[in-house]
Chain A
Amino acid sequence: METILNFAFLENLLVSMIRMATPLLLAGLGELYSEKAGMVNIGLDGIMTIGAGVGFIVGYLSGNPLLGLFAGSLAGVALNLIYAFSTISLRSGQTINGMALNILAPALSTFLSRTMFGVKTTLMKGATIGNLSVPVLSEIPFIGPILFKAHPVSYFALFLVLVTLWFFRRTKPGLNYLAVGEYPRAAESMGVNVTKTKYLSCIICGFLAGMGGAYLTTCYIGAYAEGVVAGRGFIALSAVIFGNWTGAGVLLATLLFGLADAVQLRFQVLFRDIPYQLLSMLPYLMTIFVLLMSNKQSNEPKANGQPYAREGK
């Protein structure tokens, strides 16, 4: 047990937790903005995939991973506009359109990367954006490496959580935005442009989820493997439900996923007698357990997932 209960182990565990939670948090926040405007987007995984693919290609070709990160985010927006157009303007089902993104994106991303790099026996390696180290503060033992030596994108994601809390609680546009997800007809009658808000929500969602995907290939590892997203979009999707549709909730949920995964990887090394399949289940078991324990009132927007028709048809 002494291998677990020491500061070095805990420090590493928490650093690893933040690193693994970052892409989930970005995509989760994107989905939060989407659902707050009543747009359930299960295409999150697809958006992350295209973000990862385009992000890597642009980052590799330009030699500038930051540009790649940005391009990946924009690719996410572009892809999500397909979803936005068919669900908002054409009012078709959100689930089926989200699913379509999940089918389209991996194929498109594979097509793009093979057009660029062909089929090689090894993966192409690109540059990555390194960690940020806050001077002086990062020297503080234990807390320093965890909080002040993280990745700039992790800080950005955490900052976004604060912005989200402030936006939805304290600003008028934020309340108008919420009204679109709760009761769009009332919002419309008060002069809120529902269609515009819904489109905006899709742009934000595409941008953040695309960035979450691009983070994987331009910040985490400088390589693009088809399937690198590995279902993270779906985890982020569940983090929004798990986090009860609040910014802080999404943050906690993604950190919990990150922690559980970090713990299970370390336990595989430390406890060799436990079958690894059992340990791999840990993040998911933890989710079920916490969901069972919590019986709060649901914060889900009332008009979530429903198409909105202005003329009332």
Chain B
Amino acid sequence: MKRYMYLVFVLLMVLVLAAGCGPKAEPTAEAGAEAAGEEAPASADSSADTKTDGEKVWRVAMIANTPIADGGWNSACYAGMTGAAEKYGFETAYSENVAQTDYVTIFTEYANMGFDLVFAPGNEFTDAVMEVAPSFPNTNFLILNGDAKADNVMSVKADNTQMGFLAGALAGMKTQTGKVGFVGGMEITTAKQAINGFHQGVAYANPEAEVSVSWANSWDDTAKGKEIAMSMVSTNDVDVFFGTASAVDVGVREGLSEFENRWGIAQPGESLDQNPERILTSIITDNVALIGLGLEKAQSGTFGNEVVEAGVKEGVLSIGLIGESMKDLEESFMKVYDQLYEGAITIDYELK
């Protein structure tokens, strides 16, 4: 029996280790050094703020509530952070799959570890940030898509309404059945803003067109995305799709491949190569520029008390590669884009 007890003990140890690497990875100094990876050589003791030559090591940490490889929102944010970090010479760390109940804990731990900047990619983190921030004046908190500001809190947001408008205008131009669809992950503010813009964009380009909205109630159930697309096609003859549901969108576009003449519009990264025949284009959010703003301000000491909103005009929103199936519409669509750039189109930002 003793031998068995020993085996059970060993097994438990292995499982504890596995759980440690699991979804709820706690932020550790090693994680920081590890994630910094190729760009910055990790110092032997990464909890120290100085390298041997006395130069300050800037560090930024990101917290995500889904995997950072979700092929959608958090992937784009993570790529944005690492891109900006490379530009401004930051070391990076991240915690993924963090449950809502752990937001405060994880923020506190990063702040305790002396990170210069904590990056919260979403408005849903605002409450947790505002709770933690006052206790750590030496750590700056950057919220993406938020509205909060304080001495060490700053929000930057991409103009989601404009993004929705661009997609809506394109969908309105492209549709042949007069039915376009929007697939949302969950009904959060950014999704509502995108829908608001989408409705206006469709109405701008094609007042006759009808908009269907569906919610996956998930960010990563790709299979459900496929099912949503197929149900929208079969019940309502929707032919152009746009969505802000991360990995679910991939499933949506997969569902389109089963039918003739159905198209999708992607966001927030360049996605044309995923399905070149079915994707019209991608509405790209330049997260490097957006997040870089926060990193730059943190370094120059001008961080805080600010909400920056950036869209087409600021160069944060742009149009990706044009797919084969929208070549004929490219000119008229770019005209809309230019008008938005010049401010010739006014969008109603009020959420109903």
Interface set of A (CB-CB < 8 Å, partner B): 3, 8-9, 12, 16, 19-20, 23, 82, 86, 90, 92, 100, 103-104, 106-108, 110-111, 113-114, 117, 119-123, 125, 216, 220-223, 225-228, 230, 261-262, 265-266, 268-270, 272, 276-277, 280
Contact = CB atoms under 8 A, between A and B. Distances in A.
A74 B278 CA distance: 34
A120 B69 contact: yes
Nearest to A230: B221
A122 B269 contact: yes
B215 A276 contact: yes
Contact of B68 (A119, A268, A270): A119
A120 B71 contact: yes
Contacts of B70: 225-227
Contacts of A122: 71, 75, 250, 269-271, 273-274
Interface in B238-256: 238, 247, 250-251, 254
Given A110-B67, A120-B75, A230 B269 contact: no
A20 B231 CA distance: 12
From B8, B19, B22, B254, name the one whose CB has the most chain A CB atoms within 10 angstroms.
B22
A12 B231 contact: yes
Given A16-B227, A270-B236, A123 B212 contact: no
Contact of B69 (A113, A222, A262): A113
A230 B214 CA distance: 18
B157 interface: no
A276 B231 contact: no
Interface range for B: 35 or more
Contacts of B222: 123, 216, 221, 223, 225, 228
Interface string B60-74: 000000111111000
Contacts of A230: 218, 220-221, 223-224
B230 to A, nearest CB: 7
B250 A123 contact: yes
Contacts of B236: 269-270
* 3 closest cross-chain pairs (CB), A and B: A123-B71, A227-B220, A225-B247
Contacts of A90: 4, 7-8, 11
B235 A227 contact: no
Contacts of B234: 8-9, 12, 266
Interface string B249-281: 011001000000000000001110111000000
A276 B71 contact: no
Given A108-B18, A122-B274, A225 B231 contact: no
- Please classify the interface of chain B as helix (H, G, I), strand (E, B), loop, or mixed, using the class held by over half of its residues: helix
Contacts of A216: 222-223
15 contacts: A8-B234, A12-B235, A90-B8, A100-B15, A100-B18, A107-B22, A114-B69, A123-B274, A216-B223, A225-B70, A230-B218, A265-B214, A269-B181, A270-B236, A272-B213
A104 B218 contact: no
Nearest to A117: B69
Contact of A227 (B18, B66, B226): B66
B223 A220 contact: yes
Interface string B181-224: 10000010000000000000000000000001111011111111
B215 A262 contact: no
Contact of B217 (A100, A227, A276): A276
Nearest to B20: A107
B228 interface: yes
A113 B19 CA distance: 18
A23 B212 CA distance: 28
Contact of B18 (A16, A103, A117): A103
Contacts of A104: 15, 18-19, 22
A120 B235 CA distance: 34
Given A119-B75, A226-B70, A276 B187 contact: yes
Contact of A269 (B4, B76, B214): B214
Given A9-B234, A222-B254, A225-B70, 10 more contacts: A12-B235, A104-B19, A106-B22, A107-B19, A121-B76, A123-B250, A221-B251, A225-B71, A225-B220, A269-B238
Contacts of B67: 110, 225-227
A172 B254 CA distance: 46
A265 B227 contact: yes
Contacts of A119: 68-69, 75, 78-79
